[in-house]
């Protein structure tokens, strides 16, 4: 078995990707059976964009933290509940305005550590915690966060705008370390000031304001490859992802097989026309981030991986959704 075949097998069994396989059927049901469930720029996006009478959209997102992390690393669970929501807001080109949280636990030490993480996240990302629900006598332990933000209607970035011929660009902070609480995480936040963190995240605000991107997503627990697959599928096109290019971005201590599955704090995947690459690189550098082309979109309905001139199909969604629902905005 070649290295590329081994990587493909690894990715298909990776929980960060395989857990997404149920999403198309769940979202289709919500669209069909809930009130106004077919609202554009909502289900399928990192942040829902809610129309207003002003010149801005209100952004809304939510994320839950797995129970194992809450038990074993409760401070990190609280902090990451804020981080995950902030990434979703910035991925849409927005600025966070508020955060709400639901907490459930029975051990007061875990509860206090969850709160410590939430408060630290609030301070680092400069977002007020305005609402919550707490059950301190529960048989289950979890933290669920929700955030709001705003973005000018002319600047909204969506996950589904990639066009055939666009290049895919990974934006990330090269300074960081493997996560202590989640080993498939690249942590560029620990030890950083709030100013440094917000500077890096606000790269998406400037890119959105320049209106040079066709699509954007934060690099989630699905990893770089899973995020690329979701973006391409939601955009209704296919594409090729170069593992050779991704290998060139690997931190020295991280093997490629781990890097492509990693959640990257302060990391985004964006698409644009090739002529905009110099400007994207300039803006990324000004925000302390590296910008590297890792692939290209095409008219196929398949996502292909390339390594050392060998190519294989990661997934083919020509017969229906695999990772994402149909994009209502295309």
Q: What is the pLDDT of residues 180-210, one digit of tens each?
A: 999 999 999 999 999 999 999 999 999 999 9
The answer on 173 and 300 residing in a single domain is yes
- The answer to whether the pTM exceeds 0.95 is yes
The answer on 262 and 129 residing in a single domain is no
- Which residue, among 118, 85, 216, has the nearest Cα to 162 in the 3D structure? 216
When pLDDT is averaged across residues 226-234 and rounded to a whole number, the result is 97
CATH code of residue 119: 3.30.1330.10
Write down the pLDDT at residue 67. Answer: 87
CATH code of residue 258: 3.90.650.10
Last-in-domain residue among 126, 152, 178: 152
When pLDDT is averaged across residues 216-229 and rounded to a whole number, the result is 97
* Any domain includes 325: no
The answer on 163 and 141 residing in a single domain is no
Write down the pLDDT at residue 319. Answer: 85
* Any domain includes 330: no
Question: What is the percent of the chain where pLDDT is above 70?
Answer: 100
* Any domain includes 38: no
* Any domain includes 328: no
Question: In which domain, by residue range, is 190 found?
Answer: 3-22+158-316
Question: What is the percent of the chain where pLDDT is above 90?
Answer: 95
Last-in-domain residue among 94, 126, 152: 152
70-113: pLDDT as tens digits: 999 999 999 999 999 999 999 999 999 999 999 999 999 999 99
The answer on 147 and 54 residing in a single domain is yes
Last-in-domain residue among 152, 175, 193: 152
The answer on 254 and 145 residing in a single domain is no
* Any domain includes 296: yes
């Amino acid at each position: 078995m070649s290295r590329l075949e081994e990587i493909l097998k690894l990715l298909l069994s990776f929980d960060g990707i395989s857990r997404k396989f149920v999403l198309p059927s769940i979202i289709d049901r919500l669209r069909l059976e809930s009130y106004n469930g077919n609202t554009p720029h909502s289900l399928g996006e990192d942040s829902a964009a809610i129309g207003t009478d002003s010149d801005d959209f209100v952004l809304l997102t939510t994320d839950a933290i797995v129970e194992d992390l809450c038990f074993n690393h409760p401070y990190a669970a609280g902090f990451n509940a804020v981080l995950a929501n902030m990434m979703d807001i910035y991925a849409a080109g927005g600025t966070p305005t508020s955060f709400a949280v639901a907490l459930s636990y029975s051990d007061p030490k875990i509860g206090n550590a969850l709160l410590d993480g939430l408060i630290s996240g609030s301070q680092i990302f400069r977002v007020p915690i305005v609402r919550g629900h707490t059950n301190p006598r529960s048989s289950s332990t979890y933290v669920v966060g929700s955030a709001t933000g705003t973005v000018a209607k002319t600047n909204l970035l969506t996950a589904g705008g990639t066009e055939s011929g666009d290049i895919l660009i990974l934006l990330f902070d090269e300074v960081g370390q493997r996560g202590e609480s989640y080993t498939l995480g690249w942590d560029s936040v620990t030890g950083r000031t709030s100013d440094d963190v917000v500077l890096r995240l606000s790269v998406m605000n400037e890119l959105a304001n320049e209106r040079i991107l066709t699509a954007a997503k934060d690099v989630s627990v699905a990893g770089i490859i899973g995020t690329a697959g979701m973006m391409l599928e939601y955009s209704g096109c296919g594409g090729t992802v170069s593992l050779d290019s991704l290998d060139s971005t690997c931190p020295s201590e991280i093997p490629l097989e781990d890097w492509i599955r990693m959640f990257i704090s302060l990391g985004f995947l964006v698409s644009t026309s090739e002529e905009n690459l110099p400007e994207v690189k300039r803006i990324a550098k000004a925000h302390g981030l590296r910008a590297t082309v890792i692939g290209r979109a095409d008219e196929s309905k398949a996502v292909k991986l390339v390594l050392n001139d060998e190519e294989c199909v990661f997934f083919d969604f020509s017969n229906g959704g695999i990772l994402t629902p149909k994009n209502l905005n295309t």
